[in-house]
Amino acid sequence: MARIHDTLDTAALAYGSTSASAPQDEAAFDRHLDERPQGQNDQDDAGNSDPIFLADVDRGDAVNQQPDLRLVVISNRVAPFDPSKPQTGGLAAALEPVVQRSGAIWIGSSEHRGDGSERPLPLVQTGAGEVARLDLPAKDYPGYYRGFSNSTLWPALHSLSGQMSGSDEDYEGYRNINDFIARAALGVRDRDAFWVHDYHLLPLGAALHDFGIERPTGFFLHTPWPAPEMIERVPHHRELMNSMLKYDLLGFQTNRDLENFVAGLRAVFGLESKDGVVTTERGQTRLQKFPIGIDPKQFAEYLAADLSPAEQEKVSSLLQKFEGTKFAIGVDRLDYTKGIDKRVEALNQHLKAEPHSISLLQIAPSSRADVEEYQKYKDSVENAINHVNNEHGTNEWRPIHYTNDSFSQAALARLYRAAKIGVVTPLRDGMNLVAKEYVAAQDPQDPGVLILSKFAGAAEDFSENEALLVDPNYPEEIAAAISKAANMPLDERVARWRPMMNKIESFTIHDWAADNVREINKSRITVPADQFHRVGLGWTNEFQLPQFERHVEALKAYNTIDSADVDKKERAHKEVEETREAFRATLEHTQDRLWDLPGKL
């Protein structure tokens, strides 16, 4: 502790020795961002001396990583933690094993709405972890969820501007809900790090910061991130992107998403990244790609698991309809980003060329049924399916079997294994774990063929020599791929399947989670002892803490007092000691958790 005590004196004296080294406050930085004209690009900043750009910082050995972080995971939705129940989405499926294995606390919304009053976190044990389901305020929830999240952000993130709608009231509800969740998280502010998920919670890191939670915070976006010209159509996009820079780590599914975000920072703020790091006056935000995976071992166990009698009957009934014939499978939420309508038209075109050659099992659980655009899409898809069945079906054979039922992972594994073709053709998707699940469920001796949208994140993992990559906007491309897959010889199917399976096994969801958490843990950099005099020049976030700034002001005040004024000097000295002790306590906690201060002081 003497090292920290002495270092504070050295740092404070250096910090207060010249006004040129004093850091610009966050409010000033926010004003700088807000004052940039719309559309100004990075060329406009030639010669700009505002200290908001990158510093070269070697973080290599400066981080003392702690493998057993006490983690808080926050997302809009929490998994059911029941293998017999259907998963409610890719995010829930991804995080459930992380929480159960790691001992993390997972905070998300419940199925009930509240009055907005603050209550202790309702923690419930699940495996090694705990879950807290919050009753989000009824007043703000419609604007937050149905409004800004799913009628504005969702279509924009998937580059579908024609589907966008919303209002300022929706945005207010969105911000209010994020603030409510941040206040709820104050109950676990002593945990080591916070890992926030998805587009519902873009500004949560800023809210955590504003409410005084000074812990490493990471954010992972499960959806795509669009090009600058698309994100600029989102109301309040500048404020949202500025909020995102309050996270220490921003994770994306693909290189394309990461590059789009960097291009957006350049277009909107004139900010650049260097070596994956953007530096602002808040500190450093690290940008990184983390392609999400699955647990192939667990998926193999699903194939062998017993189903409930009711679900066994449902699966058996479906498979009997395809007995003796080939069928393709599509598994998607009933969402306009999934391209189900284009897929149905592709099958229509294929059956015109090759009648009765293959059927489609389309599983499409209803999604956001209270959003008008989703209701319209459901009607459109079902009308298209009825048309194909009427056009190509007979009394004995139906081309498309369509259900809105949900299935457990074990049931889906059986259906994937039986299907000769997996059709995963979203218009845009962050990753799409169905693609990886389909591959993992296949018989190594007789695998099926994956048809994959080139605009799904999984297409960065699987090459054209493995999956059949298609542009999902063109049904004729999908139809050609269906024909090729249906007639593909066994040796080619095996040759395509094997490298995909190798990739799935080499980077699982547990690797994805470990990489994310490790990088969050790195997000607080340390200052080598021989460079401590440079505190305040952007080396570390921790020295922006109010406790340190108060200590510096007290020290400056002390130095201005005439030594002959003994009483005043003593009072000022007491203030110096009190403010130093407040900051020392914060620094001691940080050192115990993350910091390494090498060298002699």
Structure token pair of residue 430: 């962050």
Where are the strands (E) in 462-524, listed by range? 468-470
Where are the strands (E) in 274-356, listed by range? 277-280, 283-289, 327-331
516, 195 Cβ separation under 8 angstroms = yes
55, 539 Cβ separation under 8 angstroms = yes
In a 3-state reduction of DSSP, which class is residue 250?
strand
In a 3-state reduction of DSSP, which class is residue 252?
strand
Please give the Cα distance from 445 to 503 (Å, whole number).
18
89 closest CA partner among 335, 303, 311: 335
Q: Where are the alpha helices (DSSP H) in 195-339?
A: 204-210, 228-231, 237-244, 255-269, 296-304, 309-321
User: Which value, to the nearest 10 degrees, does the dihedral of the CA atoms of residues 81, 375, 459, 285 take?
Assistant: -70
Task: Show which residues are catalytic.
Answer: 222, 429
Please give the Cα distance from 327 to 416 (Å, whole number).
10
- Which residue type is seen at 356? H
Q: In what order do the strands lie in the sheet with 217-220?
A: 123-126, 129-137, 105-114, 71-74, 193-197, 217-220, 249-252, 283-289, 277-280
273, 262 Cβ separation under 8 angstroms = yes
Q: Where are the alpha helices (DSSP H) in 354-489?
A: 372-392, 409-418, 433-440, 475-486
CA atoms within 13 A on the CB side of 248: 24
Cβ-Cβ contacts under 8 Å for 304 (sequence gap 6 or more): none
User: Which value, to the nearest 10 degrees, does the dihedral of the CA atoms of residues 375, 380, 381, 387 take?
Assistant: 150
> 3-state SS of 96-149?
HHHHHHHCCEEEEEEEEEECCCCCCCCEEEECCEEEEEEEEECCCHHHHHHHHH
> What are 351's strand-pairing partners?
none
Q: Around Cβ 274, how many Cβ atoms within 10 Å?
A: 12
Please give the Cα distance from 30 to 50 (Å, whole number).
12
String of DSSP letters for 158-209: TT-GGG----HHHHHHHHHHHHHHHHHHGGGTTSSEEEEESGGGTTHHHHHH
Location of structure tokens 């900043």: 45
